Amino acid sequence: MSRIRHLVGAGMLIAALTGCGGGGGGFTSPPSSSSSSSSSSSGAGSSDGSGPSGLIQAQDGNFYGTTATGGRFNLGTVYKIAADGTETLLYSFAGGASDGALPSPLLVQGADGDFYGTTNDGGKGTCPRTNPVTNLMRADTACGTAFKVAPDGSESVLYFFLGGVDGGEPNGGLVQASDGNFYGTAVAGGLNNAYCGSAGCGVVFRLTPTGTESVLYNFGGVAFDGMFASSLTIGRDGNFYGTTYLGGQPNDGTVFSVTPSGAETLLHAFAGSMEGANPRAPLVQASDGNFYGTTDFGGVIPNNPVAACNNGGCGTVFSITPGGLLTTLYAFGGDSTDGAFPGSRLVQAGNGTLYGTTSAGGPTAHCVGGCGTVVSIVPGGAEATLYLFAGGAADGAGPTTGVLQGTDGNLYGTTAQGGQFNAGVVYRVTPGGAETVLHSFGGS
């Protein structure tokens, strides 16, 4: 299977596994306007979003996140949810030339208390119609934005990506460094090259709080470089670490580092098979100083209900030293008691254990190939399934962006589908594996 076909299969797989669309039909061209805030405890009949992604816990103790679609214009939202499940819609993206659309998974709370993020679409410029990492069709060919949302829901666009040398379609979130600036990646744009052509292989960029953007590094996509980078992680040495979905040799993705001055180092190129292939998620630096991450594919290729596992493996968990020594810790099997496709970030809890999710595997009653899992893994490699999602109206399905540990010690996360309206849920899982659905999203 060629790597481009591999990539397309990864993007289509999540929707196919869950058997649901979550969200709404075709996109329209709505007027650009701010949305009013509203509260909901059930989501019934609401327009609070569809396809929620990664959560953060803010200084006020509440959780904040984005939905990929849904909202007033079906172009995504920013929302707040309390630990008791009370949800508030803060902002609905309007798209068009003056606003973003289809927000990226992760927000970051800036030093000023506001929330910063990126959108895959909306704004200006001309970029590929299909997201090269998720394979999701975007609303139009605009190149995305970087935005700020205040706790009261007021939104402002900081930067419009143009898809040229400045980059385009920022697929990951932002991180704020000690210099006060924000750093991120874009999967399109950058310098033209023989591998990616005029579309570019993506960039690493810097963005000031006032909206001035500059490119630190241009990906080349060739054997000694990567393409389609994930969100960045700031290492303890002050450098930025990340993964690329493709590139390297033999084009199975890479792990890289970039200094604040823009010097890039290829730390590792994945070789596929048992080592893993196609890392999608950000890295996490654990207490031992090493980085931990996941790959969408690779590992064991068993005979199991998830057909894609038979072609390319169900994914892996790996560790890598700051110097580039990689160890495969666990390879998923994808059966009814194990996960498949762990394309999500990991988090290290206070007990030293790493927690994450898989978008498939587990029970298959409501989801072909399984509805996904929450898993734990110790740095030495021992893995355990903490929770198996059941899907349907009473539970979530397809957790794609990992979990975080709240200040109460519990794990919180989202699923892209499932729940009362099949538009995704926010859930809580205790360290003992007891799960509670806090909110079911209502779509658009």
Query: What three-state secondary structure class fits 270?
Result: coil
In 3-state terms, what secondary structure has residue 94? coil
CA angle centred on 252, ends 297 and 384, rounded to 5°: 30
Tell me the mean pLDDT in the region 259-278.
94
- Lowest mean pLDDT: which of 44-53, 242-251, 423-432? 44-53
Residue whose C-alpha is closest to residue 123's, from 104, 107, 105, 139: 139
Structural contact between residues 190 and 184, judged by C-beta atoms closer than 8 angstroms: no
The model's pLDDT over 309-343, given as tens digits with 9 standing for 90+, comes to 877 899 999 999 999 999 999 999 887 888 999 98
Does the pLDDT value for residue 37 go beyond 70?
Answer: no
The predicted structure's pLDDT at residue 191: 86
For residue 3, what is the enclosing H or E element? helix 3-18
Count of residues in the chain = 444
282: DSSP letter: P
Task: Write the DSSP assignment of 350-399 as a string of letters.
Answer: TTS-EEEEESEES--SSSTT---EEEEE-TTS-EEEEEE---STTSEE--
Structure tokens at 95: 């798209």
Q: How confident is the model at residue 17 (pLDDT cuts 50, 70, 90)?
A: very low
Q: What is the pLDDT of residues 153-200, one digit of tens each?
A: 999 999 999 999 999 999 889 999 999 999 999 999 998 777 787 788
pLDDT for 444 equals 64
Looking at the chain, the whole-number percentage of residues with pLDDT higher than 90 is 70
- 69 — phi, psi (to 5°)? -140, -165
Model confidence at 391: pLDDT above 70? yes
Per-residue confidence (pLDDT) for residue 30, from 0 to 100: 30
Exposure on the CB side of residue 404, measured as CA atoms within 13 A: 18
Q: What is residue 283's DSSP assignment?
A: P
Q: Strand, helix or coil at 144?
A: coil
- Using alpha carbons, select from 49, 52, 138, 54 the residue that is nearest to residue 100: 138
Tokens of 250: 């033999």
Which helix H or strand E contains 310, and what residues bound it? helix 307-312
pTM: 0.89
How far apart, in whole angstroms, are the C-alpha atoms of residue 201 and residue 199? 7
d(CA 302, CA 34): 49
Q: Which helix (H) or strand (E) holds 415?
A: strand 411-415
Q: What is the pLDDT of residue 381?
A: 84
Kindly provide the residue ranges of all beta strands, DSSP E only, lying in 12-114, ordered along the sequence.
Answer: 38-40, 50-57, 63-69, 77-81, 87-92, 100-103, 108-109
Low-confidence winner among 4-13, 102-111, 314-323, 434-443 (lowest mean pLDDT):
4-13
Q: List residues bridging with 277 in a β-sheet.
A: 297
pLDDT band at 19 (very low <50, low <70, confident <90, very high): very low
Q: What is the longest distance spanned by two Cα atoms in the chain? A: 53
CB 185 within 8 A of CB 242: yes
How are the residues of the chain apportioned to helix, strand and coil, as percentages rounded to the nearest 5?
Answer: 5, 40, 55
What is the reported pLDDT for 46? 58
Is the Cβ–Cβ distance between 164 and 178 less than 8 Å?
A: no
First and final C-alpha spacing in the chain: 37
* 39 has pLDDT over 90: no
